[in-house]
Amino acid sequence: MGGRLDPTVARARGLVRDAVADDGRPLVVALSGGVDSLALTAVAAFVARQQDRHVRAVVVDHGLQEGSAVIAARAAEQAAGLEVPARVVTVTVSEGREGPEAAARRARYAALAADADADDALVLLAHTTDDQAETVLLGLGRGSGPRSIAGMPERDGRWVRPFLRLRRMETEAICRAHGLTWWDDPHNTDARFRRVRIRRELLPLMEDVLGGGVAEALARTAELVRADVDLLDSLADQAYTDEVESLRALPDAVRSRVLRRLVLDGGAAAGELSAEHLAHVDALVTDWRGQRRVELPGHVSVVRSGNRLTCIRTPVAG
């Protein structure tokens, strides 16, 4: 890059710099070859050089599309052109009831975590404002409460999302400024996926009806809700118990979080646990009428025994 620095590139560098400023660990960029992750790789390369810290990229090949190995190799090649060493990790996606998108995400995160474990690195993820807006709308559609509306955090342990304040059009500008050619995943235009329809149909309609700025407004809402959710989660951690009388004395918002953690600790499937499930568990505490058990995703049931709630394996016969 020569001449005047592109203001979008400058802003992106500041976002990455701020996101990792308080943590000197090595950086791993989750690189798919798409526009967002290529832009992040370019920006992370600059920040790492500036801070004299190690950075590398990991390209996860899910093997779900014809030619995926070639696409992954091309992504690694472009990273190398940015002076970021990259390796391709091939994973097997085992789809269960969660669906192909969730199964691929689980396999991808496991591969990234395994690589980062080698030197306790931070993992940079290229989610943008657009991704956050889609996540919020998906959460609203599920009716699964404030946690889903809070979207994705900028920082969650080793997982860092510095681009949550950037639009997808800005990552395209960053790639063009660095002379990078990105891959357009055909899954991103496949209307079988709900997220794709939100991106291509619902969000444009909302932008038209509400006069623009919807993606930024949804992302801002997520940020505000997350602050409240984090506080309530902290209170729930302090109040954690399986004793019915103690649970009954808690405020509703805190009790629901304690119950959620209780059933997740007992083996319930987090991705399938809904507000309705938790309402039935709550009834064991607040509206006890001798219910036998509450069955939850993950083949786990909650029973009330005396003054305690206990998680058991759901009997096969039902």
The DSSP element (H or E) to which 68 belongs, if any, is helix 68-81
CA 250 to chain centre: 29
Q: Going from the N-terminus, what domains does the chain have, and what CATH number goes with each?
A: 7-126+161-189 (3.40.50.620), 240-313 (3.30.465.60)
Measure Cα distances from 235 to 146, 247, 253, 258 in Å: 15, 13, 10, 9
Write down the pLDDT at residue 318.
46
Write down the pLDDT at residue 158.
96
Binding site feature residues for ATP: 32-37
Binding site feature residues: 32-37
Identify the three-state secondary structure at position 155.
strand
Tens digits of pLDDT across the chain (318 residues) = 556 889 999 999 999 999 999 999 999 999 999 999 999 999 999 999 999 999 999 999 988 788 899 999 999 999 999 999 999 999 888 766 566 777 888 899 999 999 999 999 999 999 999 999 999 998 888 776 787 789 999 999 999 999 999 999 999 999 999 999 999 877 777 788 888 999 999 999 999 999 999 999 999 999 999 999 999 999 999 999 999 999 999 999 999 999 999 999 999 988 788 888 999 999 999 999 998 899 999 999 999 999 999 999 998 764
Contacts of 209 (CB under 8 A, 6+ apart): none
Q: Where are the beta strands (DSSP E) in the chain?
A: 27-31, 55-61, 86-90, 122-124, 155-156, 159-160, 294-296, 300-305, 308-313
Contacts of 175 (CB under 8 A, 6+ apart): 35, 38, 39, 42, 181, 182
